[in-house]
Structure 1
Amino acid sequence: MTDIQFRKAQASDLPAIVAKLADDPLGAARLLARRPSRVVSGWRMREFFQALFNLPARGI
């Protein structure tokens, strides 16, 4: 069995995070799932991620 390793999310993880959220039925409705790259580049996801990244307890 492979050991699971956790690490803090990085900005480069954002497209994968958005894709995971978009794969969920509720997330899809919220994130314009048909265009996750547009959400990442054009919307406020990067600002949101940066705000989370700056929190002391940022375990996302």
Structure 2
Amino acid sequence: MLWEDLDHGEIARVLGCSRGAVHVRLHRARKRLARTLADAGVEVPPGRSGATAPLTEGRSL
């Protein structure tokens, strides 16, 4: 399933949870991704989680 084309309400229906829970889960996942990328030495610009931006040459976002 392509989650990126779904809004929070649609994801909530698929997962069987509230829109708020989807929002929190996505926020936490983006923070976890940013932390993992930072630990791996990948530069993450301030204010960006890196969840939607493709990696560019030099392993930075």
Same fold (TM over 0.5): no
Higher share of residues assigned helix: 1
Larger RCO, structure (CA 8 Å, separation 6 or more)? 1
Provide the TM-score with structure 1 as the length reference: 0.31
Greater radius of gyration (CA): 2
Q: TM-score, normalised by structure 2?
A: 0.31
